[in-house]
Amino acid sequence: MKIAIGADHAGFAYKQQLVTALQSQFDVEDFGTHSESSVDYPDFAHPVADAVESGRAEFGVLLCGSANGVAITANKHQGIRAALCWNEEVVKLARQHNNANVLCLPARFVSYDQAYRYILTFVTTAFEGGRHQNRVAKIACS
């Protein structure tokens, strides 16, 4: 399984640790940023969303301070369902009910251990389909 990951300066430290930790189990592509210098989050959210939308990665992970900016940016992509998640139940529901394919984590509001656990939960939780499939099918703009 391939995971695309990106972060702005607020998520940089977690991203660095997560890339190292996740590489033992997954193929991880790091889209930056590569320092704690102030950057613009869309510069990293768009490439992660592109990778997932094109099928080069099964899932994306984005981190910024609140995760709002990266979620808004990623969701501009037609094939992306980015979910801002701050606890494990929300992570599971994002996958089970919304078939989310990009996990957006608020680095200033979750611990590193939580972020790591949420990613594992996200990529191992299946979409339930059924009544949720009809709803997910209505998300895209025509």
The tokens 């930790």 sit on which residue? Answer: 21
> Could you say which of 64, 77, 85, 104 is catalytic?
64
Distance CA 114, CA 112 (A): 5
What share of residues in the chain are helix, strand, coil (percent, to 5)? 40, 15, 40
Distance CA 121, CA 123 (A): 6
Q: Tell me whether residue 141 is one of the annotated catalytic residues.
A: no
Chain-centroid distance, C-alpha 69: 12
Distance CA 78, CA 64 (A): 21
> Could you say which of 34, 77, 85, 97 is catalytic?
97
Q: Tell me whether residue 97 is one of the annotated catalytic residues.
A: yes
Q: List, by residue number, the catalytic residues.
A: 64, 97
